[in-house]
Amino acid sequence: MGIIKNIGALIRSSVNLEGHINTELAEKHIRNNIFFRGPNAWILAIAIVIASVGLNVNSIPVVIGAMLISPLMGPIFGLGLGLGISDVQLVKSSGKNLLVMVIISLTASFLYFLITPLNLTNPTELLARTNPTIYDVLIALFGGFAGIFEQCRKEKGTVFAGVAIATALMPPLCTAGFGLSSGNFGYFFGALYLFFINCLFIMLATYISVKYFKFREAEYNDINTGRKTKRIISVLILLFIIPSIWSAVILIKQNRFEESAIAFVEHSKSYGKSIIYDYKINHTDGSTIEISFVGEPLDDSTRSNIYNTAARYGIDKEELVINDHTTTERVNEMELVKDLYDRMDNEIDARESEISRLRAELKRYEADKIPYSQLTREIGTNHPSVTEVHITRGASVLTTHSDSTRHSTIIMIKSIDTFNAEQEQQLEQWLKIRLGDENITLFAIPQE
């Protein structure tokens, strides 16, 4: 029980925040960093262009570098703080600066993608910034908690750099600028939605933390003004908490649907002489999965079987679109053959990789394998009095450092003649050289 109490006391002392938090300094720091004027505005524009270049060429290190440069998070923390301490003026000021930040970012990325000579042949990084997932929500929420903890603690560290990278506020704004410049409004609205989802949950984390740390509430000379302000703040809190919860619920449902859909496809590769060669998951108007078949036409019985199988994975009939190319449209044979070859190549590559790993593991095992019979014969030839050889390989653990282990080989020999210390040492040295192992311990025991 004493050990448990000590561990409990150690944990409590480790997580105790008393003496580490300075809310007044945090509030001052947040208020000073909500503005986008002068150098801040230019730094933001430059960072947006750098991030746009990174997205343009699918270079993640460039995007990360741009996120480290960007001063994006100030107004978002300001909004969360303003709501938490019921300061309408701070909320207004932060909201205006957030709008300025968005305008500067969209303008810089729009102009870059409008005039860039670089071709965008495989925009995987841009595509990744148009569809928010539940993972984005969790990253924004916990990134917000990390950010506000960094603001509040007395000893400043390097948390902000990590928060800026993790929450990824900048790439969606760059993608939105690309959508504007190319006329692709799907990119534009999808990216802005992701950006505001991130903002919303960083604000929520800030609001919760401000309440938890008991920041000083804003004071008003007039009681009526204070009450009116409280009502306005309450409405504003509801306006951003309700969409946050709604968005989180929708994204959780979409994530679960995707998991079920992928599991359904993975376990339902073929039906009779028809196989699934492609599938698409869409969340535009409710969640649906479209599966494409190739092979013999699907009859009513097979379709019914597909719907029943999908239902076992939680996919309703109206959520499943069966695209039977053999009966509805002519398949581009070259594309189909290429797709099948690609799938086969990927599967072969995966298997070859696994085979290579197993071969390397077998090679390591064989390298460590001791030639027991041969070694015994060699010892018997050099020392005819030896009658038995026992060889054990395992781990050596010191009682003073039980968390540290090393491999060890123990060899015990039984001999008619007694080995003196010099003979035993010579044999041990020979064994170390013979087996290429320094961690050998030899015991010579007289034959009874």
The pLDDT, as a whole number, for residue 330 is 46
In CATH terms, the fold of domain 372-446 is GMP Synthetase; Chain A, domain 3 (3.30.300)
Which of 216, 217, 214, 218 is CA-nearest to residue 17? 214
**Over 60: is that where the pLDDT of 121 sits?**
no
- Range in 1-5, 261-265, 278-282 the model is least confident about: 1-5
Name the pTM for this structure. Answer: 0.58
* Mean pLDDT for all residues in the chain: 77
Listed ranges 36-40, 66-70, 175-179, 239-243; the one with the highest mean pLDDT: 175-179
pLDDT in tens, 295-336: 777 777 888 888 888 888 888 888 888 877 544 444 455 555
Q: What is the pLDDT of residue 107?
A: 92
Instruction: Over range 391-399, report the average pLDDT.
Output: 72
Q: Which among 61-65, 246-250, 285-289 has the top mean pLDDT?
A: 285-289
Which range is most confident: 52-66, 221-235, 419-433?
Answer: 419-433
Of residues 411 and 228, the one with the higher pLDDT is 411
Domain covering 18-218 in this structure, CATH number: 1.20.1080
Ordered by start, the domain boundaries in the chain are: 18-218, 372-446
User: pLDDT confidence of 199, banded at 50, 70, 90?
Assistant: confident
pLDDT digit string, tens, across residues 411-440: 888 888 778 878 888 888 888 888 777 888
What's residue 339's pLDDT?
A: 62
